[in-house]
Amino acid sequence: MGATVAEKSAALSREEGERLAAAINKLELWLAVRDMYEPTIEALESALGLDQVDVVVLYGDSVLAGVDSFVSAIREGIGKTSLVAGGRSYGTDGLISAINAEHPGLVPEDATAADAICAYMAHRNDPMPTAVERESTNIGALVRNTITLLRSVEVVPDTLVVIADPIFMRRIEATFAVVEETLSVTSLPAYDARVNFVPGVGLVFEQPTPHGMWPLDTYLDLMSGEVPRLRDDAEGYGPKGKGFIDHVNIPPEISQAASLLEEFLGGYREPDPVFA
């Protein structure tokens, strides 16, 4: 078993550690595409000049802070329709573990992300979503299946707010740009996370951490895979590569930050064929 992020980073000098922490925080800010900062009508009006959108969506495998945000959005009435989406993918086991840590035995270990979230919401007596999607195993499928499911219930949206893990927001928006290019998509990241470097201790999350937050090792592993996927080259997901997403302009400082994280981790998260 390899060294943990804390163990590896504890060996860094103050200068090296602070440089790495700054790179990670820069990546999070860029990937998150924060169109809205909170699930309120005031925030929606500030972002779009609207008091309601057609649909608000929660993409499963967000940490529990995303569920909290989604519930607040439903209560606020920022969407005419609400949808939670997610089958089994990279983060489903972690999501279920976080739920069962709060409510032991509530969710079966083989549940889909969407069913786990709905069980959690029902247990808390939260308002429930209008529609549920349970088949998606990756971001491309989440976006495509969102549109398909909405159409099946005769909802053809012009405006949509997406709540998801911030590190996936830029890829989600770039995917929507290919799948449904006329749709106005507004990003509402599930949380805001920062890391600090503590000499002799290593990288740590700023406190308080978001509700149900990923372990730091998982968070950085997931983050490491995003810039390689967003690249518009033969290996990336852009038009010159797999064609899953629209072209994304990646600033040089973001490429540099991603390279520093990849160097520290010894690689980046490769696509898992199980969730293709």
Show Cβ contacts of residue 63 under 8 Å, excluding neighbours closer than 6 positions: 95, 98, 165, 190, 191, 210, 211, 212, 213, 214
Sequence-separated (6 or more) residues with CB below 8 Å from residue 99: 64, 106, 107, 116, 119, 120, 212
Please write the tens of the pLDDT for every residue from 120-158: 999 999 999 999 999 999 999 999 999 999 999 899 999
pLDDT at 102 over 60: yes
pLDDT for 66 equals: 97
R_g (Cα) of the chain, nearest Å: 18
Arithmetic mean of pLDDT, 191-207:
95
Smallest Cα–Cα separation from 59: which of 24, 87, 100? 87
Q: In the block, which residue shows the tokens 């804390």?
A: 6
Torsion of CA 201, 205, 208, 213, to 10 degrees: -130
Q: Which pLDDT score is estimated for 273?
A: 66
List strand residue ranges (DSSP E) for 50-200, in order. Answer: 53-59, 79-85, 131-133, 159-164, 184-189, 195-198
- Residue 194 above 70 pLDDT? yes
Would you say residue 172 has pLDDT above 90? yes
Q: Is the pLDDT of residue 272 over 90?
A: no
Asked whether the predicted pLDDT for residue 271 surpasses 80, the reply is no
**Average pLDDT score over the chain:** 94
Per-residue model confidence (pLDDT) at position 245: 96
> Domain boundaries in the chain?
5-32+202-268, 41-189
3-state helix, strand, coil in the chain (%, to 5): 45, 15, 40
pLDDT single digits (tens) 10-19: 999 999 999 9
Contacts 24+ apart (CB under 8 A), 263-272: 264/8, 264/9, 264/20, 265/5, 265/220, 265/221, 265/224, 267/224, 268/224, 268/225, 268/227, 268/228, 269/221, 269/222, 269/224, 269/225, 270/225, 271/225, 271/229, 272/90
The whole-model pTM stands at 0.95
Q: What's the pLDDT band for 40 if we cut at 50, 70, 90?
A: very high
| pLDDT tens track for 238-265 | 999 999 999 999 999 999 999 999 999 9
Predicted confidence at residue 145, as pLDDT, reads 95
What pLDDT score was predicted for residue 90? 85
pLDDT score of 256: 97
Region label for 196, one of left (φ > 0), alpha (ψ between -120 and 50) or beta (otherwise): beta
Instruction: Tell me the residue type at 118.
Output: C
pLDDT above 70 covers what percent of the chain?
A: 98
pLDDT at 91: 87
- Is the dihedral angle over the CA atoms 33, 37, 40, 46 positive or is it negative? negative
Average pLDDT over residues 36-61: 95
**According to the model, what pLDDT value does residue 274 have?**
58
Per-residue pLDDT at 275 exceeds 70:
no
Cβ contact 72:79 at 8 Å: no
The CATH number of the domain covering residues in 41-189:
3.40.50.620
Classify domain 5-32+202-268 by CATH architecture. Orthogonal Bundle (1.10)
What mean pLDDT do residues 98-126 have? Answer: 97
